[in-house]
Amino acid sequence: MKNSWQQKNVFVTGGAGFLGSWLVKALIEQGARVVVLVRDSVPQSALFSDGLGSKVILVHGSLIDYFVLERILGEYEIDTVFHLAAQAIAPVANKNPLSTFETNIQGTWNLLEAARRSPLVKKIIVASSDKAYGDSRELPYTEDIPLRGVHPYDVSKTCADLIAQAYFISYGLPVCITRCGNLFGGGDLNFSRLIPGVIRSILLNEPPVLRSNGEYIRDFLYVEDAVSALLTLAEAMDKKDVLGNAFNFGNGNQWTVLQIARLILERMGSKAELVILNESPNEILSQYLSSKKAEAILGWHSRHNIEEALDRTIAWYRDFFKKQTQAQSGQAN
């Protein structure tokens, strides 16, 4: 795979985000020339804290600015696009639906239209989500289940997913779609999310808080497995029969929120008591994926079991908070 990315011009939206930072790192290691669109400067993002920002071309702008996207694709002769940028926090979407719709839906059609007008773009991967399926009684989700999001975040992913499909069907744009389970791993600084939130609370000697009743069932996918999925899919897009397809990527196991929280406590050797708020409206009770299509067509499967992935994640946050404490101590002195 390394030779295939050598000197290839790759554009990543959301490259300063959680998944995006891991993807950018992998692309750099494999010799790609990476362009990253950055809306907000977040110093703690791995893109900057790990020194990746100095190894890529940074363009400051927004998905809402169509002409910025058109300029990037043309000026940097982009071959492959990974569209990861989105407002990705469901509670934020519930409180601020308009900004979520603008970023997730308009941002997607802007990018796809700019790509349609660029003669050099050969591959576009649009990151959708398992949330695009909505509250389906058919479990696990397979790619042929209708997309039926009803809550703001879910609707935004359903719409972006369908728009991507429309650009392939109507214009032949070389698009593929990923639908991943709940991503986790080091570098996720949205501590309202379950896994980083529980780890942070334990490291700071605070009681871990669960927003929900703990009974929600999810498919948790480690971030390095998600990066592998993105790169594997992009490689496979050289085959014409892969273009236009959507692929589920999941761990293959289902866990309740409570089970994951307790497993984190166990892996960290903590006896902390969980605080269960049961204050999580507009969320779907059970969501998990079948990845059989990705396994059959792409040869992809997750490589990290949940215990190993949590251990790697916990180690990342231990180091992260240790460095923060050292930095604050140095400033105080």
Question: Catalytic residues, which ones?
Answer: 153
Per the CB < 8 A criterion, the answer to whether 243 and 174 are in contact is yes
- Taking the C-alpha atoms of residue 252 and residue 237, their distance in angstroms, rounded to an integer, is 24
Q: How many helices (H) and strands (E) does the chain have?
A: 13, 13
CA gyration radius for the chain?
A: 19
Q: 177 is written with which tokens?
A: 């779609």
The H or E element spanning position 7 is none
Among candidates 98, 70, 72, which has minimal Cα distance to 15?
Answer: 72
Q: Is the peptide bond before 140 cis (omega within 30 degrees of 0)?
A: yes
CA distances from 243 to 122, 144, 174, 181, 235 (A): 10, 16, 6, 22, 11
